[in-house]
Each structure stands twice: as C-alpha cells, then as structure tokens.
A = this chain, B = another copy of it.
Amino acid sequence: MSFEFDEHIAVRDVEGAAGEHDAQLSSGWMVGGAVNGGYLLAVIGHAVSRTLPEKPDPIAVSAYYLSASAPGPARASVRVLRDGGSVATVSAELAQGDDVRLTALATFGSLGSLSDDVPEGWTAAAQPPDLPPVDECVPGSMAPPEVLEMAPFVRRFDIRFDPRMIGWALGQPSGRGEMQAWLRLVDGREPDPLLLLMAVDALPPVSMDLGRTGWAPTLELTAHVRAAPAPGWLRIRHATRHVSGGMFEEDCEVWDSTDRLVAQSRQLARLPRS
C-alpha cells in the first residue's frame, strides 16, 4: 500500500553524485505562498536516511530557513561530517535552482538500538498533554473555506484542536500563545520518525493565539526525535514562553498513543506585525 506522505517526501539518488538527491516538492503541502517548513524537514530527513542506511532515524535536526520554497523540483545535498559509533552527523541543504531554501545540520542513528537506561529515582517533568477525547475536539476541517484554500496542507491531516485553546480561531486569542491537538494523516499512514519532523511544524503558529494572524516565518527550528512513535494518533502541544526583538520561540512536544514523548522541538520565528 502506498501513502501520499511517502510519495511526497520521495527522493531519487542522483547517479554518480554521492549524497545528492532529487526531490519533487508537492503543492499539497503549501500554506500561504510557501511550502510548509515541517514537510521540507521531512524531505531533507528522507535524503539523509538514504545516505545513511544503517542510521536511518533523525535524532537531532537543526534547520535554518533561508528563502521560501515553491512546489516543484528541488535538490537535497547531504554531506557526512562524522560517522562513527552509534550516530552520524551530516550537513544538508535543500535548494531550488541556485536558491538555497534551507540549510541544516543533523545527527542520525538507529532509534531502536539506543539504550533504555534511565536514572533510578528519576521523576520525568514532561507529562502527556491534557487533551479531551478526539471526538470532543474541534476538527481542522471546520476551518473557513478560505483558510483551507490558503493552506491546502491542512487537508492532509485529521487534526482535532483542544476546544479550550481554540479562541484564536474565533477572534478571541488567549494572549498566552498555546495550542494543543490530536493529529494523524488522513490516509491512515502511521507515524514514524520522519513524519515527526513534519508533525513538529504542522499546527498553526502560536502567534495566532497572541492575536497575530499573519505569517510567522521560521528563522531556525531544531527537532529532537526522542523515540520511534507507536501507531495511532499523535498528541501535539505548542507553546511560547517569551516574545522579544520582534520574535517568539515556539516549543513543541509530540506524544504517541502509548503516552510516550517522541519528539521535542523549538523554533525561533518572527512575530507577525499587528
């Protein structure tokens, strides 16, 4: 069975050019005038996976966004900087023609082979988000038609927003800058580590909940994949702690259906003007 996410992040090795991969950015992942940054991260993550077949899983990925991507052909270039022991570190770039869209550093490994050592007496501060049952949450498909038109990538997901943190969609932002939702792909494609790279940037920016509805361009996004996700719904929590210099940071946690924290990310983005 084939799923659209896999088709859309597919890359083809360029013959005779180690680390070079051709990709085709799908228009289905656009939001506003650009292609969603999390989708781009999954595309480049996929190219790294192919370059490091024995270390196929992202563990840490830091991406700096240099220019807005457009649907169509793109080139993903991966250069291995260090490959030894259980992890490898690479630099990677996604370009369209002469324009670099994003540049990244990443450490990859095999999540299944990592240690399960935890300290005795350890108390985890991170706890799964408190979310009402899926059926009591607000589906993204209820967004106004103009939003679905502007952000076709929303149609790729079954997304259910926590109704207690949805004021921003009704013109009543809380001012706190937080958002929670259930998420899965509409075609039943189960989550895996590459999907998590997309999931950390799938929700609207929390600046919406600060009353700023414009585009919030990401300067930098770092994602840590903490474990391979189990099948089923993901739960996502986004929050910001601080606004300064016309920027805000957005933290994201992704939890799987077994109550396991599977990814964390933080991005620094520009606050849309009022």
Contact = CB atoms under 8 A, between A and B. Distances in A.
Interface in A82-116: 82, 87, 89, 91, 100, 103-105, 107, 111, 114-116
B176 A219 contact: no
Given A64-B107, A119-B210, A126 B81 contact: no
Given A62-B105, A119-B211, A241-B264, 16 more contacts: A60-B64, A60-B220, A66-B82, A66-B89, A115-B271, A117-B271, A118-B243, A119-B175, A119-B274, A120-B211, A124-B241, A220-B224, A226-B242, A226-B244, A226-B245, A249-B264
A212 interface: yes
Nearest to A239: B125
A105 B219 contact: no
Contact of A122 (B121, B177, B266): B177
Contacts of A239: 125
A35 interface: no
A interface bracket (residues with beta carbon within 8 Å of B): 35 or more
15 contacts: A60-B64, A62-B220, A64-B81, A66-B81, A91-B103, A105-B105, A117-B246, A117-B273, A118-B243, A119-B243, A121-B173, A125-B176, A125-B239, A220-B224, A241-B264
Contacts of A242: 124-126, 226, 261, 264
A222 interface: yes
| A-B pairs with lowest CB-CB distance, top 10 | A115-B246, A114-B245, A62-B62, A126-B241, A119-B210, A121-B175, A60-B220, A125-B241, A126-B242, A222-B222
A199 interface: no
State how many copies of this chain the complex holds.
2
B100 A81 contact: yes
B175 A240 contact: no
A219 B245 CA distance: 28
A240 to B, nearest CB: 7
Contacts of A271: 115, 117-119
Contacts of A105: 62, 64, 103-105, 220
A105 B175 CA distance: 32
A216 B266 CA distance: 21
A103 B81 contact: yes
Contacts of A177: 122, 125
A46 to B, nearest CB: 20
Q: Tell me which of A207, A241, A245, A274 has the highest count of chain B C-beta atoms within 10 A of its own C-beta.
A: A245
Given A59-B219, A226-B244, A100 B82 contact: yes
